[in-house]
Amino acid sequence: MQEDFSIYNGEGTILRRAQMRMLDILSEVDKICRKHNITYWLDGGTCLGAVRHKGFIPWDDDIDIAVMRNDYKRLRKILKKELPENMVFQDETTERLYPAKMAKVRDKNSYFEETEMKTALKEQGIFIDIFPVEKGYVKVKTFIDFFYGRAFRRLRHHNGNRKEYVIALLMWPFACTMVGIARFFNFLITSDDLIYSYGIPTLNKYQLHARDFVPTKPIVFENKEFMAPANADAYLRRLYGDYMQIPPKEKRRIHASVIRFFD
């Protein structure tokens, strides 16, 4: 008998309301990307949900998309200007304590407290994540991020004490130099190997390949059409193995500890 997933996100539940708010944000970002010819794709668990469930993984409480780093820098400028009044772009350039090298677009009329990342950020509404992707090799990234990612997070006061903060200050110029050198050599080398940008710990043990992502193709997600990786099957198998297999209940991860709505 097929499992009843409505216990997670049945109509009227807080999670389902949050998912619909995230869908509104995604729809707005999709519209802006299409307007400015910016290529993006549904990423991680959002891509998995689209393929396996035609929408959200029932217990999932976030949306992930990815863009190439050059497009990411352009998209950042555009989103700051063109998002509607009820949404806001957030990253390291907008908040001093923001502890990540990727961005969020947040809803202004809600509150979302992440179990694993409690910070004193100004904007804390329901969100979608935007991950920059660039040319690179995962083994090199893993080595560099031991210094770069650690230093960045501690400089942003994330999971660090005063001693670690001072060490991060000393480490930061060296770490930035390593990233610059790596990007220079990756620019010279012809390869379709990709990584999530330096400083992003998510999924960094997996080597990505451009051929699996571009050109993107349409996919249905919650009865709407968004863009997905060119070879979603290869990508998801590399990420999750037998991704069509529903995980046991104890492995169904929820990020939020508190979700509130103000409208």
pLDDT of residue 157: 75
Mean pLDDT of 134-159: 90
% of the chain with per-residue pLDDT over 70? 95
d(CA 234, CA 221): 19
Asked, for residue 180, whether it belongs to a domain, the answer is no
Which pLDDT band, with edges at 50, 70 and 90, does 119 fall under? low
Asked, for residue 163, whether it belongs to a domain, the answer is no
pLDDT of residue 177: 98
Which pTM does this prediction carry? 0.94
Asked, for residue 155, whether it belongs to a domain, the answer is no
In this predicted structure, the answer to whether residue 257 has a pLDDT above a threshold of 70 is yes
Asked, for residue 174, whether it belongs to a domain, the answer is no
Phi-psi region of 222 (alpha: psi -120 to 50; beta: other; left: phi over 0): left
In this predicted structure, the answer to whether residue 48 has a pLDDT above a threshold of 70 is yes
Which pLDDT band, with edges at 50, 70 and 90, does 159 fall under? low
Which pLDDT band, with edges at 50, 70 and 90, does 118 fall under? low
Mean pLDDT of 143-162: 86
Asked, for residue 201, whether it belongs to a domain, the answer is no
Structural domain count, the chain: 1
Which pLDDT band, with edges at 50, 70 and 90, does 160 fall under? low
Mean pLDDT of 206-210: 91
Structure tokens that stand for 136 in this block: 């690179």
Asked, for residue 142, whether it belongs to a domain, the answer is no
Asked, for residue 127, whether it belongs to a domain, the answer is yes
Asked, for residue 84, whether it belongs to a domain, the answer is yes
**From the centroid of its chain, how far is CA 20?**
18
pLDDT of residue 183: 97
**From the centroid of its chain, how far is CA 38?**
16
What range does the domain containing 105 cover? Answer: 6-134+212-261
CATH no. for residue 43? 3.30.460
